[in-house]
Structure 1
Amino acid sequence: MSPPLFWVDAVPRLGADVTLSGAEGRHAVTVTRIAAGEELVVGDGRGSTARCEVAAITAKDTLIARAHTYAYVDRPRPTVTVVQALPKGERSELAVDLATEAGADRIIPWQAARCVARWTGKVDKGLAKWASAASAAAKQSRRPWIPDIGPLASTTDVRALSSDVIAGGGIVAVLHEHGAVGLRDLGVADVGEIVLVIGPEGGLDDTEIADLTALGATSVILGPQVLRTSTAAAVALGALGVLTDRWSTT
């Protein structure tokens, strides 16, 4: 099993020491129960990681470790942005968790027409929960990158994003149970950027689909099953991992 990953502000270079403290240090010492001589990985969430050996446990929430490898990994290509219509209840953070584990580079919360959930008056709280879910999921899945969480988007914002991506040669895939094509028919391996648009539990409004496809987006079906809004992005990202070089280990 690979060593656990913890977040730090600055990743040490080869031979340098790093102090893990605060919430991350407490998790390492009291929850994971890491001991001196064991290994862990520290990362900054921006592509840099170092594999370290624990030199000393100095408090219940503090340890010192020395880096014996350092690495930087760029974001996979093509980059994938998930425009996620707001799920209701606990499925909101679940959607972020699953999309992060599956490799999303950016996740944008979207107040779609048929969203039951509303962030009116609590946008900052919602964004903070999504950022926390993304950070925890990236750590759990040993990702060197924490996905960016965008500001709450309106449908006008989603149209503007889609227009820019398509104008730049990218692909916007609107996931829908009556989609016109499958992901493998989009030629995703040859583009630099992909946007996945995920509707809410009640489905996308017809005008939203019409507006986005008029801009050049494509309605896409993932398979014979109708997926929940919280799982659709993760399934699509898994397919993209196979259809592109995003999961390449070379």
Structure 2
Amino acid sequence: MALHFVTDAVSDAAVGDDLVLSGTEAHHAATVRRVRAGEAVTIGDGRGVWAEGTCTEVAPRRVVVAVTVRREVPASRPRVVLVQALAKGDRDELAVQASTELGVDEIVPWQAERSVSRWDAAKAIKGRARWTTIVREAAKQAHRAWIPAVAPLATTREVASAFAAAHLVVLDPDGSERVSELRFTDDEDVVLVVGPEGGISDGELRTFSDAGAVVARLGDTVLRTSTAGPAALAVLSASLERW
């Protein structure tokens, strides 16, 4: 499989053009991934533009690709959004990485009541930047034409308000419905809410339920916060016929 790289320069590229990778992307291509002249690669802008080409020049700060194919990939509808509670260690980051590889369209960091990790104003800026970097690298690894957006840190009420018109699905081991049985027949966003290590509080469940949320379970076992979101995404990808 061809290696994949991301640059805004591809947005205006046409078949027959020489596309130049520079900066960190060129360094990654030439030094880390060790591409060679004559090797086929794919390039995207993270917003749907997709190109294929052949490397004609490779140097640590400049990689030139002759574009042979260019197309635009439409965004998926309905979108699938992951609201991921902050978690201790790197468990929330593991969820972000895997969910990006599995096709999530947007990620919202959520400051849940029982989140051990707490982001103040400064940490919220750094944390969002960190998640954005993880998403970009995971999207490149998965050869995605669209790179998911990472929203600002949100509270429970902000999540409930922002997605009141969407299909809001709260993952909970005691949910009355199964994720595998949910069906969505319109283009409204499907929003998965994943709680922290200690679970979602009763007050939070009431807030989400008042916003029209469905409380659903994945199965008969209790998954970690790092695996619940990716597992639900896999189930939805099948039911939405993405896979």
TM-score (norm 2): 0.95
Which residue number corresponds to residue 168 of structure 1? none
Alignment of 1:172-183 (within 5 A): 172-183=168-179
Identify unmatched segments of 5+ residues in structure 2: none
Answer yes or no: is 1:192 the counterpart of 2:191.
no
Which residue number corresponds to residue 105 of structure 1? 105
What's the C-alpha RMSD, in Å, of the aligned pairs? 1.2
Give the AA of the match of 2:83. V
Q: Secondary structure at the match of 1:13?
A: coil
Alignment of 1:1-250 (within 5 A): 2-11=1-10, 12-57=13-58, 59-120=59-120, 121-165=122-166, 171-247=167-243
Shift of 1:180: 0.8
- The number of equivalent residue pairs is 240
Give the AA of the match of 2:161. A
TM-score (norm 1): 0.92
Give the AA of the match of 1:5. H
Name which of structure 1's ranges 209-218 and 180-189 shifts more when overlaid on structure 2.
180-189
Shift of 1:210: 1.3
Shift of 1:215: 2.0
Q: Secondary structure at the match of 1:10?
A: helix
The answer on whether the counterparts of 1:95 and 1:231 sit within 8 Å (CA) in structure 2 is yes
Shift of 1:246: 2.3
Give the AA of the match of 1:29. A
Shift of 1:241: 0.9
Residues 169-189 of structure 1 show CA distances to partners (whole Å, capped at 9, x for unaligned) of xx1100000011012332224
Identify unmatched segments of 5+ residues in structure 1: 166-170
Residues 138-171 of structure 1 show CA distances to partners (whole Å, capped at 9, x for unaligned) of 0001111110000000111011023232xxxxx1
The answer on whether the counterparts of 2:42 and 2:52 sit within 8 Å (CA) in structure 1 is yes
The answer on whether the counterparts of 1:81 and 1:195 sit within 8 Å (CA) in structure 2 is yes
